[in-house]
Amino acid sequence: MEILAYGVQTDERSLLEQAFAGRHELRCLDVFLNRDTAPLATGHPVVSSSVNAVLDAATLTVLAAGGTKLIAQRSTGFNNIDLDAAAELGLTIARVSHYSPFSVAEHAWALALAVNRRLTRAATRTREFDFRLDGLLGRDVHGMTVGVIGTGKIGACFARIAAGFGTELLGWDITENPACLDLGMHYTELPELLTRADLVSLHVPLVPATHHLIDGAALARMKDDAILVNSSRGGLIDSAALVETLRAGRLSGVGLDVYEEETGVFFTDRSIRGITDDTLARLVTFPQVLVTSHQAYFTRTAVGQIIDATARNIDDYAAGRTNENTLVPRA
C-alpha cells in the first residue's frame, strides 16, 4: 500500500523507513497534516499523521475526496480527530493505544528536577563563565509531598520514581491504581491534593471534563512555592491563568512539555520569524519556567514502539482486521 506520513521528525524518518521497507511504499513529509496540506495525500490510500495534526471535518473531507481510506495516527491522544466526521466519510481511524510510559514519566521528572534546581539558568551562566550561585537555591525532593493527577500507566511510573526519592504521594483519579496504593499513595479530592502538594504532575487525558482542569481557581489553591509539571496535554492548564499566577510571584517552578495552542508552533523552527502567541512568548520569559516542545515521548524505545504499532495497524487494515488501536472501523 502507498503511505504518506506527515510530520516526520528527522530522527524518526530512518526508523519509519526501516519498519516499512519491503512491506509498503512510504513517503515522508515534515509538514503537518491540516486542511491546507491534506491535498498532498491525493492518491494515497493510507495517511499516517503525527500528534499535532488537525484532523477536523474539513481536513477529513479533503482526505476522503482524494482517495484516503485509512488514517493511522502515530500518537495515543486523539482529541485532535473528529471521529464522527470520519465515520460519516467512511474513513478508518487507528492510533497507538500505548507505548513506553517510562519515556514520558522520566521526562516529567527531568522537567521537575530542572526547574527545582534552576539547571537552565545555571547552564546559561556557566557558558558565560559566571559561576555564582545567586538565585539557584533549590529544595530537596526527598520529603516533598508529590501530587499525581492521573494514575494510569504513565502516572504510576511517575509515582514509582517519586517513591524512590522518598516523597509522600497523593493521587487523584476516577479509579485507584493498586500499584500506586502499594507505593503508599493516598488518594484524595483534587482541591486537597493541590493545597497539600509541593510538586504537582499532570497525567490525565484531555477530554471535555479535564479541559482547563488547572484553571485560576486550581492554581490559587496551590502553594506559593509549589512546582507544576505538565507532560500530558496542553489544554489541561489555562495558560492565561498560569501567566497571571506567575506574574503574581507564585509557583517556584513550572515545567511544560505541552501547550494548549502548540499546534503549528511546536516541532517548527521559529527562531527567525518568532511567534505571534503572546501567552507562550510570556511564559518562556519567566526564569522559573522551562518549556520543551512535546518531546516527552521522544526516546528511541518509545518511538520504535509507536512505529511498530502503526505498521501493525496498517497491516491489519490491509488484511481486513481491526485491533485494540482502531478508533473508527472500516465502514
Residue-wise pLDDT tens digits, 78-108: 989 999 999 999 999 999 999 999 999 999 9
134 and 253 co-located in one domain? yes
Q: What's the pLDDT at 186?
A: 98
Domain count along the chain: 2
Counting residues of the chain whose pLDDT is more than 70, the rounded percentage is 100
Task: Spell 71-103 as b/e; 16+ CB within 10 A means b.
Answer: bbbbbbbbebbbeebbbebebbbbbbeebbbbb
Q: What's the pLDDT at 21?
A: 87
DSSP-based helix, strand, coil % in the chain, nearest 5:
40, 15, 45
Residue with cell 518568532: 274
Catalytic residue positions, numbered: 233, 262, 294
- Phi then psi for residue 254, to 5 deg, are -135, 125
25 and 153 co-located in one domain? no
How much is the mean pLDDT over the chain? 96
The boundaries of the domain holding residue 223 are: 101-291
Return the SS3 of 66: coil
- Phi then psi for residue 257, to 5 deg, are -100, -5
Q: What's the pLDDT at 81?
A: 95
Return the SS3 of 309: helix
88 and 115 co-located in one domain? no
52 and 162 co-located in one domain? no
pTM, to two decimals: 0.92
CA angle 181/168/134 to nearest 5° reads 145
C-alpha cell at 216: 485560576
Q: What's the pLDDT at 1?
A: 81
106 and 229 co-located in one domain? yes
Taking residue 157's Cβ as centre, other Cβ atoms within 10 Å add up to 21
Answer whether residue 51 shows pLDDT above 90: no
Q: How far is CA 322 from the centre of its chain?
A: 26
pLDDT bracket for residue 24 (50, 70, 90): confident
